Structure 1
Amino acid sequence: MFTGIVQATCKVINIETKAGLKTFEVALTPELTEGLVVGASVANNGVCLTVTQMRDNIVLFDVMEETLTVSNLGDLVAGDWVNIERSLKYGTEIGGHILSGHIHTQANVIEISHTDQHYNIHLGVEKKWMDYIFYKGFIGINGCSLTVGEVTKDSFWLHLIPETLHITNLSDLKVNGHVNIEIDSQTQVIVDTVAKIMAKQQAQTLDLSKQAD
Structure 2
Amino acid sequence: MGLVQGMADIVKADHLPGRLALILRFPPHLTEGLVLGASVAVEGVCLSVTSIDGDLIGFDATTGTLDTTNLGTLAHNRVNIERSARMGDEIGGHITAGHVSGTAEIIGFEKDADNHMWLKIRVPAPWHRYVFKRGFLAVNGCSLTVADAQNDVFTINLIPETLRQTTFGLYAVGDRVNIEVDHQTMVMVDTIERSVTSVFERLIADRFANPA
1:202 corresponds to: 200
| Residue identity matched to 2:85 | L
Q: After superposition, what is the alpha-carbon deviation per residue over 1:95-140, rounded to whole angstroms, capped at 9, x for unaligned?
A: 1111000000111010101232331111011142221101110110
SS of aligned partner of 1:175 = coil
1:175 corresponds to: 173
Matched, 1:56 2:54: yes
2:121 corresponds to: 123
| TM-score, with length taken from structure 2 | 0.96
Distance 2:33 2:196 in 1: 49
Distance 1:130 1:20 in 2: 30
1:42 corresponds to: 40
Instruction: Pick the aligned partner of 1:96 from 55, 75, 93.
Output: 93
1:84 corresponds to: 81
Distance 2:78 2:162 in 1: 15
**Which structure 2 segments of 5+ residues have no match?**
none
| TM-score, with length taken from structure 1 | 0.96
| Residue identity matched to 1:91 | G
Matched, 1:111 2:108: yes
Shift of 1:76: 2.5
**Which structure 1 segments of 5+ residues have no match?**
none
1:17 corresponds to: 15
Q: 4+ runs of 1 displaced by more than 2 Å?
A: none
Shift of 1:67: 0.5
Shift of 1:38: 0.2
Aligned residues: 210
Aligned counterparts, 1:180-199, within 5 A:
180-199=178-197
Distance 2:12 2:126 in 1: 35
CA contact (8 A) 1:122 1:156 kept: yes
| Residue identity matched to 1:62 | D
SS of aligned partner of 2:126 = helix
Shift of 1:195: 0.6
Shift of 1:19: 1.5
SS of aligned partner of 1:147 = strand
